[in-house]
Amino acid sequence: MSEHVDVVVVGAGFAGLTAARELTRAGLSARVLEARDRVGGRVYTTTLEGGPWVDLGGQWAGPTQDHLLALIAEHGLPTFGTWTRGDNLLLVNGRTRRYRGTIPRLDLPSLLNVGYAQWRLERMAKKVPLDAPWSAPRAAEWDRATFASWLDANLRTRTARKLLEAGLETVFAASAHEMSLLHVLFYIHSGKDLDMLLGSDGGAQATRVDGGMQQVAEKLAAGLDVRLSSPVRRIDHDGTGVTVHHDGGSVRGERAIVAVPPKLVAQIDFRPALAGKRAELVRRMPMGAVIKCTAIYERPFWRDDGLSGMSVADEGPIHVVFDNSPPGAEVGVLMGFCEAAHARELGKLSIEDRRDRAIACFVRTHGPRAKDVLRYADHVWEHDPWSGGCYGAFMPPGVWTSLGPAIREPIGRIHWAGTETATRWSGYIDGAISSGKRAAAEVHARARA
C-alpha cells in the first residue's frame, strides 16, 4: 500500500531540495526521492585518500547568482575567491605567452575579431526573451542555424575561431555544431553576458565554498524527508493525484515535481505516457559532456613564477585550466576542463590513461613540475547513470521554436523543475534553485485554489 504525502519530488539536486523546502515552509508535506546515495545531483564533493577535498561537479558562485549566494550565507558557510593573482597562460599555435584579464593577448586582427564577435553575440542575446526564447524577433532564423555556422561567418582568423570556440565549449560543455544559435544567445542572456560567463574576477567563477559546494546541498536537505537510493521507475498520474514507484516502494501524492535532467525524464515510465511536445522535448535535449580533471601537488608551484594557474590552449583534450587549490594552499590543485567530443573520447579510457592524458596537458601549459602529481581524480559525468552528462541539457537546431513552450508547462498534476527550466542562470546551480522555487510556487498556488 502506498504512503501518502501532499507532493512527491523526484530528484535531490538543488532544484528538488529547494522545491521541497519551499513546500514544507508553506505547510505542505513533501517527500524527495533520490536515486543516488547522496544529495546534490550534479554537485559532487569528495575527499581524496590523504586529502584534500575536491569538487568534481558544480563548484562556483558568482555575482547576480543571488539565490545561491543567499543560501550559502543563510547557512554561514565560509567562502573564498578563486585564485586569480598573477599572469594567465595562453598556448596557441605552439607558442606560450602570458596575459592578464579575460581576453588573451592575441595578434591585432584576431583580437579585433574576437571583440567584434563578442559584441555581436551579446547584442543579439539581449533580444532573446528569457521566459520565451521562441518569441525573439529572429527566433526562426537563429534556431535554424548552428552556432558553428555563425562562427564560420563571423570569425575571419583561424586563431580567433579556435580560441573563442575553445572558451565557449567550456561554458556550454557542447560543441558549436551541436547547438542552435538561438540556444547560445539565450544562454548568454541568461547569464548576463560573455564576460560574466567566462570571468573569474567578478564573473561566474568568482567564489568557492570552503570544504566544497556539496555542503550547501546537505544543509538544504537537513530536516527534509529525503529517501536516498530510491530511483524512480514509474509515475502513474490521473485527475486525482500521482503514484510514484521507486526501488523502495511507492508513494502517493496530490502532485509531483520532477526535478531531474530531461534525459532521465525520458527514462521514467509515465502512465499514461507523456504525450505531445513535452514527450518529444525530453527526447531531443541531449546532455553536455564534461570531465573535470583534477591533479593534486605538494604546493601551488605555479604561483612562485607569478602565474595564476589559469591557462587557455588551442589544443586538447583540456583547453582551460584553473588553480583549484584550497584557500590555505596546503596543497596545490590544478583542474582542467575536458569538454564535448574530447570528453566523450577521454571517457572511453581507463582512469590511468585519463590521468596520463590530463597530466600531459598540465605539463604542456605549466611546465615539467606538473609531472609531480600526488593524487589525481575525475568523474566522467556522461557515464553517471543519474545525470547522463553535465553541466546540463542543450537545444539543438529547431528545438526551441518547435518545442520550447513545453519546457515549464505542467502535465496535469506533474510539474517540472531543474536548471534547464530556469530563465536566469540556466545551466547553473543558481538556475536550479530558482526553478525549484518556481515549481513549488505553482504547486502551492494550485493547492490553495
C-alpha cell at 345: 573520447
| 47-61, 100-114, 302-316, range with the lowest pLDDT | 100-114
Q: For residue 358, what pLDDT is reported?
A: 98
Q: For residue 127, what pLDDT is reported?
A: 98
Q: For residue 316, what pLDDT is reported?
A: 86
Residue 272: is the preceding peptide bond cis (ω within 30°)?
yes
C-alpha cell at 231: 530511483
Q: Is the pLDDT of residue 244 over 70?
A: yes
Q: For 9-38, what is the mean pLDDT?
A: 98
In angstroms, the CA 448 to CA 325 distance is 49
Q: Is the pLDDT of residue 93 over 90?
A: no
pLDDT digits (tens, 9 = 90+) for 111-145: 888 889 999 999 999 999 999 999 999 999 999 99
Q: Is the pLDDT of residue 95 over 90?
A: no
Strands 232-238 and 269-271: parallel
Helix/strand/coil for 376: strand
Q: Which residue type occupies 271?
A: R
pLDDT digits (tens, 9 = 90+) for 21-31: 999 999 999 99
| 108-112, 341-345, 422-426, range with the lowest pLDDT | 108-112
C-alpha cell at 62: 558568482
Q: Is the pLDDT of residue 380 over 90?
A: yes
**303 within 8 A of 67, measured Cβ to Cβ:** no
Question: Can you identify the CATH homologous superfamily of domain 3-41+214-285+396-448?
Answer: FAD/NAD(P)-binding domain (3.50.50.60)
Please say whether the dihedral angle defined by the alpha carbons of residues 160, 199, 398 and 345, taken in this order, is positive or negative. Answer: positive
pLDDT digits (tens, 9 = 90+) for 402-414: 999 999 999 999 9
pLDDT digits (tens, 9 = 90+) for 258-292: 999 999 999 999 999 998 899 999 999 999 999 99
Q: Mean pLDDT for the chain?
A: 95
Percent of the chain with pLDDT strictly greater than 70: 99
Q: For residue 422, what pLDDT is reported?
A: 98
Q: For residue 435, what pLDDT is reported?
A: 98
C-alpha cell at 287: 546532455
Max CA distance (Å), the chain: 71
Full-prediction pTM beyond 0.95? yes
Q: For 198-224, what is the mean pLDDT?
A: 96
Q: For residue 306, what pLDDT is reported?
A: 96
In angstroms, the CA 22 to CA 29 distance is 10
Work out the pLDDT band at 1, boundaries 50, 70, 90.
Answer: low
How distant, in Å, are the alpha carbons of 173, 201, 245, 412 from that of 322? 16, 13, 42, 45
Please say whether the dihedral angle defined by the alpha carbons of residues 323, 327, 332 and 337, taken in this order, is positive or negative. Answer: negative
CATH 3.90.660.10 fits domain 45-84+203-212+288-383: yes
Q: Is the pLDDT of residue 51 over 60?
A: yes
Q: For residue 449, what pLDDT is reported?
A: 61
Work out the pLDDT band at 106, boundaries 50, 70, 90.
Answer: confident
| Fold classification of 108-191 (topology level) | Guanine Nucleotide Dissociation Inhibitor; domain 1 (1.10.405)
Q: For 370-376, what is the mean pLDDT?
A: 97
Each domain of the chain, given as residue ranges in start order, spans 3-41+214-285+396-448, 45-84+203-212+288-383, 108-191
Helix/strand/coil for 278: helix
pLDDT digits (tens, 9 = 90+) for 157-174: 888 888 888 889 999 999
Helix/strand/coil for 21: helix
